[in-house]
Amino acid sequence: MDAWKSETNLAIFLNADHHKSFDSCSQALEAGYDTVLIDGSALPFEENIKTTHGVVDYAKSINLEITIEGELGYLRGESKIQEIVEIKPEDFTKPEEAKEFVEKTGVDRLAVVFGNIHGVVSKQEEKLDFSLLEKINKTVPNVYLVLHGGSGLADEEFKKAIENGITNIHINTEVRVAYREGLDKTLKESPQETTPYKFLEGAVEEMKKVVEEKVKVFLNK
């Protein structure tokens, strides 16, 4: 990881995503991750605060440069193509709770729920509540807001989310789909190929295309 960083001169961070307990977070931190998401969103509010605060304290005792992300609100869906994912308004992040959560835990980033889901839905339109996002952003102006479940969202939705405070976006399913399609294509075209780095090349190229497209949208280029 360090070699890759210095070779490319890029700001690359190794993130341990959606870790659900103090123990798994501390293992990731001890293994050298730059950042961890302690996802206590399924816990009762007070428990989420307590667990997240514990991880923040532990991380800062190891290295002050490690950043910690917390999560508030219930994010549904999985990193795959689904038909429909039911979204309930009570799952959304509540601005007052966000304020208390950020103050009591000391997190650097906050994953929020405002209509977003993990993965892609094929028979439903995702509806994001930008006025809620704006409210959350105004209530907790000093943390970086994270959008999970970016796959399947339109460019315009990303732009609006960024305008309303999102600074960190997760895209997984679209990259996985590109990998799979690239791999399928190469295997079909070169059925005799047995060298992994050669038959994986198509998969890597397809993933690159998706990432490049998204980076352009995020940077408004």
Kindly determine how many residues on this chain lie close enough to bind Zn ion according to the rule CB under 5 A. Answer: 1
Catalytic residues, by residue number, are: 17
Cβ proximity to Zn ion, 19 vs 148, nearer residue = 148
Shortest Cβ contact with Zn ion: which residue? 148
Cβ proximity to Zn ion, 135 vs 148, nearer residue = 148
Site for Zn ion in 25-44 (CB under 5 A): none
Residue type present at position 78:
E
Left (φ > 0), alpha (ψ -120 to 50) or beta: where does 165 sit?
Answer: left
With a CB cutoff of 8 Å and minimum separation 6, the contacts of 28 are 16, 19, 36
* Candidate segments 96-104, 129-137, 146-154, 185-193, binder of Zn ion by CB under 5 A: 146-154
> What's the distance, Cα to Cα, between the start and end of the chain in Å?
28
CB atoms inside a 10 Å sphere around CB 16: 18
Burial state string for 184-210 with b = 16 or more CB within 10 A and e = fewer than 16: eebeeeeeeeeeeeebeebbeebbeeb
- Alpha-helix residue ranges (DSSP H) falling in 9-83: 22-30, 45-62
Any contact of residue 135 with Zn ion (CB under 5 A)? no
Q: Give me the least distance between CB of 149 and Zn ion, in Å please.
A: 6
Any contact of residue 148 with Zn ion (CB under 5 A)? yes
Cβ proximity to Zn ion, 132 vs 169, nearer residue = 169
Cβ proximity to Zn ion, 140 vs 171, nearer residue = 171
Identify how many contiguous H helices and E strands the chain contains and give both numbers. Answer: 9, 8
Q: Give me the least distance between CB of 130 and Zn ion, in Å please.
A: 20
* Candidate segments 130-138, 142-150, 195-203, 204-212, binder of Zn ion by CB under 5 A: 142-150
Q: Give me the least distance between CB of 115 and Zn ion, in Å please.
A: 15
Joined together, the tokens standing for residue 70 give 């917390």
Q: Give me the least distance between CB of 188 and Zn ion, in Å please.
A: 32
- List of residues contacting Zn ion (CB under 5 A): 148
